[in-house]
Chains A and B, each alone.
Chain A
Amino acid sequence: MKGKTIKVDYLARVEGEGALYLRIKADRVAAVQFKIFEPPRFFEAFLRGRNSTEAPDITARICGICPIAYQMSSVHAMEDAYGIKVEGPLRALRRLIYCGEWIESHVLHVYMLHAPDFLGYPDAIRMAKDHPEAVERGLKLKKVGNDIVTLLGGREIHPINVRVGGFYRVPARRELEPLAEKLKWARDAALETVRWAATLPFPEFEQDYEFVALRHPDEYPFNEGRLVSNKGLNIPVREYENHFVEEHVEHSNALHSVLKDRGAYHTGPLARYNLNFDRLSPLAQEAARAAGLGPKCLNPFQSIVVRSVETLYACDEALRIIGEYEPPEAPAVPFEPRASTGCGCTEAPRGILYHRYRLDKEGVILDAKIVPPTSQNQKCIESDLWEFVPKYLDLPHAQLQHRCEQLIRNYDPCISCATHFLKLKVDRE
C-alpha cells in the first residue's frame, strides 16, 4: 500500500487550541494523539491563598462559554465545606441560570459549530446564505439563553451575581415575566431544532461507552445527584477521587481523566441522556422519540440531536421554574468559615465538572482541584478515533479528515477549559 500523509493546520469551530495526530500504517491505525497545547494558566495554583468567596468569580474565567458551570461547581463545593444547604427559591434560581447557560452553549454548538459539518459549510455565516431561517432561529434561540443568564447574572459572560450561599440580588416575580414570554417562543423554536437536527445525515457509528453523569431522584441533573454510570458506578460526589484519576501525558497540556481500572469514559449530553432519559420532561421525551431517538443513543454523531433535546428540556424547565417562583426572603444563606474540605460536581453543558477545595479556618483556599469535562472526554475522543478511522479508510483523504474533525466536534470540546488551535495531521505509511 502506498504511503500517504494528510495534514490540516487547524481544526476550527472548537473552543481552544489543540491538535490531532493520526498515523496510519498499511490500512491500520498505528497512533492517535489528541493534543491540547492551549497554554496552561495555572488556576489551581493561584487559587491558593484566595478566599473561598472569590472562587466563583475567579474560576468563571476558566471558560467564557460555560462560566455558570464553574460558578456552580465552586459554590457547591464551598457550601459542602461549610455545611450549608441552599434550598427553595434560591436553588430554583440556580437551576434557572444553568438552564440559560445550557441553552446558550448548546445552541451555539448545534447551529454555529456543528451543523456546518453536516451541511458542508465552513461556518454558520456562510450556511446562513442557503439556510437563513435555520441560522436566524439559532441566533434568536441562543439569545434567549443569554437573556436568562443576563437577567439573573448581570451579563452573559462572567456573570457577577452568583455567590457562596446564593446570589447578591434576587429578581422580583415581575422581572421574570418578560423572560417567560421569550421562553414560550424559545420552547417552540427548540422543538423545531430537534426536528431539524434529526434530518441531518449521520454516519453509522455506535460505541459501547461507559457513560458517566449525575443522577438525581426526581430531576434531570444540573447541580446535584449521585455520580452514576451504565457499568455499575454509583457513588456520592465526595467519593469522586477514589474512582477517577488524572494522568499527565506528554502530548497534552490538559490532564487526562480516567476511571480507575477501567479507563476511558464519556461525559456530556449523550451520557446524561442515556442515564437520565426518564427524568426528561414529557415534552422533551416525546420530541426525542419523534426524532427517532430511543431512550438509548450510542452514536456520538447524534449528539447534535441530543443537545437539541436538552435545549428543549432547558426551555421547558425554565418556564416551569418561572411559573412557580416566589422570591426568597434573603438573597443568600449565611455561613461561618471553618477549616474543612468541600467537593462539588455539576453538569456543565459539556459534562461533569468536579471541584474540590481544602480551606483553612478563615476560609482561605489551601489547595484546589478542578476537573473539567473536556479533560475527561479526551481519552474517549482518542478511542473513538481508533475505532472510527479503520472503518472509513476507503474515503478520500479530504473526506476522512473532515470526518475526524467532525467526530472531535461531537464532543463540543472546550479546550480553554481543559487547559486552543486544533491541528489535525494524518500520516499514512
Chain B
Amino acid sequence: MARARKPKLAVWKFASCDGCQLSLLDCEDELLAVAGAVEIANFPEASSAVVKGPYDLSLVEGSVTTQHDAERIHLVRRASKFLVTIGACATAGGIQALRNFKDVKEFISIVYATPQYISSLNKSTPIADHVLVDFELRGCPVNKYQLVEVLSAFLNGRKPNTPPHSVCVECKQRGTVCVMVARGTPCLGPVTHAGCGAICPAYDRGCYGCFGPMETPNTESLGAQWVQLGVKEPDLVRAFRSFNAYAEAFRKASEAHEG
C-alpha cells in the first residue's frame, strides 16, 4: 500500500557534543536520499524549518543532566511514535557521567567562578532511565552506516540489524591480528559492543570501549588478563570509566577494581 505521506523525522539534542547527529550530515552520499524518503520535521542543527509533531521517528542524542531536560524528554516521548537513542551519551550517560562518581558541586566550583549561576543535576543519566526507548544505537560516536540501517529499519517496519557481539568478531572479519595476543597491548575489545568495525586494533592500539559493553561481557576475566599484562588497578578503573562509564557492566567493573 502506498504511503499517503512521508514519515516525519525529528532529531533532539540533550547534553552531548553534537557528533552523533552530525553523523547524519556526514552521510554525504546518502543524505539527499534519506531526505527524499522522510520529512525532516525537526532538526535544528540542520534546518530552521520546524514542523509540529507528532513525529514518526525521533532520534535522541545526549544525556539528561538538568531538571529542564528531565522534563523535556517526556514531551519528546509523547510526541514520538518511535524513539531511538543515538550514541553513548543517550544510551549510557556519556563522558559527562563521570560526575556520577563524584560530588557535582565540587565539579561546578572547579569550572565556574560563580557556581550559583549554574543549574545541573547530580547525575548524568541515559534517556532510558526517564522514558521508554524503542531502540538504542551505541557508539561514541555512532557508526553512520549503522545509523542509516536504523533509519531504514524503522521506516520499513523491521528490526535493525546491529549485531550485539564483541569487537573481537569485527577484528576477525577485518583480518586484524589480535593486538592483545600478538603484542600484549591491553584491549577492551573482548567486552565491547561491536559496531565501529574494530578501528583501534587496525591502527595498532587497543580498543577503548567507546561502544560500551557487549551482551553478557566477561569483564572479570578481561580485568585479570590486563593485570597479567602489567596494567595497574587505577588504570583499569580509568579504562572502564570513560565514555560509557555509567553503563551497568562497565560501572560494576570499574568499581570492582577500585578496591
Asked whether, in the complex, the Cβ of A139 is within 8 Å of the Cβ of B66, the reply is no
- Stretch of A11-19, A78-86, A195-203, A376-384 contacting B (4+ beta carbons < 8 Å): A11-19
A157 near B203: Cβ-Cβ < 8 Å: no
Q: Does B48 contact A (CB under 8 A)?
A: yes
Chain B hits for A350, CB < 8 A: none
List chain A residues, Cβ under 8 A from B117: 248-250
Residues of A close to B26: CB separation below 8 A: 142, 146, 156-157
Q: How far is the CB of B69 from chain A (nearest CB, A)?
A: 7
A157 pairs with B23, CB closer than 8 A: yes
Q: Which of A11, A14, A41, A247 contacts B65 (CB 8 A)?
A: A41
Question: Given the interface contacts A15-B45, A44-B110, does A155 sit within 8 Å of B118 by beta carbon?
Answer: no
- Residues of chain A with a CB closer than 8 A to B102's CB: 45-46
Residue B199, interface by CB 8 Å: yes
Identity of the chain B residue whose Cβ is nearest the Cβ of A415 in the assembled complex? B18
- Judged by a CB distance under 8 angstroms, whether A69 is at the interface is no
Chain B nearest CB, measured from A208 CB (Å):
30
Contact residues of B between 18 and 77, Cβ < 8 Å to A:
18-23, 25-26, 28-29, 31-32, 35, 40, 43-50, 65-66, 69
A45 lies within 8 A of B22 (CB):
no
Whether B17 lies near A63 (C-beta < 8 A) is yes
- In the complex, which residues 227-258 of chain A have their Cβ closer than 8 Å to any Cβ of chain B? 246-250, 253, 255
Task: Decide if B96 is an interface residue (CB 8 Å cutoff).
Answer: yes
Separation of A50 and B258 alpha carbons in the complex (Å): 14
Q: In the complex, which range does the number of interface residues on chain A fall in?
A: 35 or more
B21, B69, B110, B111: the one within 8 Å of A39 (CB): B69
B188 interface hit (Cβ, 8 Å): no
**Interface segment, one of B165-173, B204-212, B247-255:** B204-212
Which of B13, B16, B48, B112 is A13 in contact with, Cβ under 8 Å? B48
Q: At the interface, yes or no: A271 with Cβ under 8 Å from chain B?
A: no
Q: Mark A58-72, 1 if CB is under 8 A from B, else 0.
A: 100111110100000
The reply on B222 being an interface residue by CB < 8 A is no
In the assembled complex, which residues on chain B have CB atoms less than 8 Å from the CB atom of A44? 110-111
**A46 is contacted by which of B14, B43, B95, B205 (Cβ under 8 Å)?**
B95
Q: How far is the CA of A389 from the CA of B22 in the complex (A)?
A: 32
Distance in angstroms from A348 CB to nearest chain B CB is 14
Contact (Cβ within 8 A) B238 A40:
no
Tell me, rounded to whole Å, the shortest Cβ–Cβ distance linking A334 to chain B: 15
Say whether A39 contacts B238, CB under 8 Å. Answer: no
Q: Which of A62, A125, A155, A163 contacts B196 (CB 8 A)?
A: A155
The answer on a CB contact under 8 Å between B203 and A160 is: yes
Q: What 1/0 mask marks residues of chain B from 186 to 211 whose CB sits below 8 Å from any chain A CB?
A: 00000000001001101111001010
B141: Cβ under 8 A from any A Cβ: yes
Known: A39-B69, A128-B32. A63 touches B108 (CB 8 A): no
- Most chain-A CB neighbours within 10 Å: which of B35, B48, B107, B205? B48
Knowing A63-B17, A123-B40, A158-B19 are in contact, say whether A168-B106 is a contact too (CB < 8 A). no
Bound complex: CA of A139 vs CA of B113, how far in Å?
A: 42
Q: Is the CB of A12 within 8 A of B44?
A: yes
| Most B Cβ at <10 Å: residue of A10, A64, A253 | A64
Find out whether the CB atom of B140 lies under 8 angstroms from the CB atom of A158: yes
> Given the complex, which residues of B lie within 8 Å of A15, measured CB to CB?
18, 45
Contact with A along B97-120 (1 / 0, CB 8 A): 011001010111011111001101
Select which of B18, B28, B43, B96 is within 8 A of A65 by beta carbon: B18
Query: Within the assembled complex, what's the spacing in Å between the Cα atoms of A14 and B208?
Result: 30
Q: Does the CB pair A331–B204 fall under 8 Å?
A: yes
Q: Using CB atoms, name the residue of chain A closest to B206.
A: A168
- The interface bits of chain B over 118-134 (1 if a CB of A lies within 8 angstroms of the residue's CB, else 0) are 10100010000000000
Contacts of B29 in A (CB 8 A): 139, 143
A122 within 8 A of B: yes
Complex Cα spacing A11 to B47, Å: 9
Chain B residues in 8 Å Cβ range of A253: 118
Closest-CB distance, A331 to chain B (whole angstroms): 7
- Asked whether A51 and B28 contact (CB < 8 A) given A42-B108, A123-B47, the answer is no
Contact of A421 among B44, B98, B199, B208 (CB under 8 A): B44
Q: A112-B46, A123-B48 are in contact. Are A420 and B118 (CB under 8 A)?
A: no
* CB <8 Å contact, B28 and A143: yes
- How near does chain A come to B210, taking the closest CB pair, in angstroms? 7
Contacts of A40 in B (CB 8 A): 65, 108, 111-112, 118, 120
CA distance A160 to B201 in the complex (A): 10
Query: What 1/0 mask marks residues of chain A from 411 to 429 whose CB sits below 8 Å from any chain B CB?
Result: 0001010001100000000
User: Using Cβ atoms and an 8 Å threshold, which residues of chain B touch A136?
Assistant: 32
Q: Which chain A positions have C-beta within 8 A of B20?
A: 64
Other than the given A41-B124, A61-B140, A123-B49, 11 more pairs (CB < 8 A) read A13-B48, A42-B110, A43-B111, A48-B110, A50-B238, A61-B243, A64-B16, A122-B48, A142-B28, A158-B210, A250-B117
B residues adjacent to A (C-beta < 8 A): 13-23, 25-26, 28-29, 31-32, 35, 40, 43-50, 65-66, 69, 94-96, 98-99, 102, 104, 106-108, 110-114, 117-118, 120, 124, 140-141, 196, 199-200, 202-205, 208, 210, 235, 238, 242-243
Would you list 23 pairs from A and B whose C-beta atoms are within 8 A, ordered by A residue? Answer: A38-B15, A39-B14, A42-B110, A42-B111, A44-B110, A46-B96, A46-B98, A46-B102, A46-B107, A62-B17, A64-B17, A123-B48, A124-B46, A142-B28, A143-B28, A160-B205, A161-B203, A161-B205, A163-B205, A255-B113, A367-B110, A414-B18, A421-B13
Q: Residues of A with Cβ closer than 8 Å to B?
A: 10-17, 38-46, 48, 50-51, 54, 57-58, 61-65, 67, 108, 112-113, 116, 122-126, 128, 135-136, 139-140, 142-143, 146, 154-158, 160-161, 163, 168-169, 246-250, 253, 255, 331, 367, 405, 414, 416, 420-421
Closest 3 CB pairs of A and B: A64-B19, A123-B47, A122-B49
